[in-house]
Chain A
């Protein structure tokens, strides 16, 4: 095999292998504390924490605008963003509580995934609205 061809193949193979290794590693995620594989309740805890952080960040940004923005901006937020944000907050409190109960020995709540979907989608919608409103 010519040297240039080998190099071309190597150039092709190395990124493929790196990507595969990254995928494989992410699928083999383990709980740092227990050392065991991530359980469903571990994953739900991570989701609850991650979504709470996202909400806090958005809340902070919107509050900043409410405190310092123009009257138009405040009116725009009240009309478009306030209601979904309040609803997400309630849903997030419930989601965190569900995970707490689950971890304390309860059963997995049946509407866990629907609630997660609602929170994610509403946060995305608010973000999109925000980006459109900022244009």
Chain B
């Protein structure tokens, strides 16, 4: 049996819209946003990491 491509496209379109709408209610992904303290900690950690010239000098 040959499937009408237009009908298939319409079906996908209707289903996609339904999924998109439903996801607004049930599917929202909760994301952890790093806290202000975490970002400050990042700055401190990065500052503590030695530059590669320093590592090199330490090795030689």
Give me the interface of A with B, judged by CB distance under 8 Å.
1-2, 5, 9, 13, 16-17, 20-21, 24-26, 28-33, 38, 42, 45-46, 48-49, 52, 55-56, 59, 62-63, 66-67, 74, 77-78, 81-83, 85-86, 89, 92-93, 96-97, 99-100, 103-104
Task: Name the prevailing secondary structure of the A interface residues.
Answer: helix
Report B21-60 CB contacts with A as 1/0, cut-off 8 Å: 0011001111111101011101101110101110110010
Interface residues of B in 1-18 (CB under 8 A from A): 1, 3, 8, 11-12, 15-16
> Would you call B47 and A93 a contact (CB within 8 A)?
yes
Q: How far is the CA of A83 from the CA of B52 in the complex (A)?
A: 8
Contacting pair A66 B33 (CB below 8 A): no
Question: How many residues on chain B are close to A (CB under 8 Å)?
Answer: 35
Chain B residues contacting A86 (CB-CB under 8 Å) are 51-53
Knowing A17-B19, A30-B30, A82-B53, say if A48 contacts B36 (CB, 8 Å).
no
Contact of B29 among A25, A77, A89 (CB under 8 A): A25
> Residue of A at shortest CB range from B53?
A82
Q: In the complex, what distance in Å separates the CA atom of A93 from the CA atom of B43?
A: 5
Q: How far is the CB of A92 from chain B (nearest CB, A)?
A: 6
Q: Is the CB of A62 within 8 A of B43?
A: no
Residue of B nearest to A63 (CB): B55
30 contacts between A and B (CB under 8 A): A13-B15, A16-B12, A17-B16, A17-B19, A24-B24, A25-B27, A26-B29, A29-B30, A30-B30, A32-B33, A33-B32, A38-B31, A42-B31, A45-B33, A46-B34, A49-B39, A52-B46, A56-B45, A62-B52, A66-B52, A66-B56, A67-B55, A82-B52, A83-B52, A85-B52, A89-B51, A92-B42, A93-B47, A96-B46, A100-B40
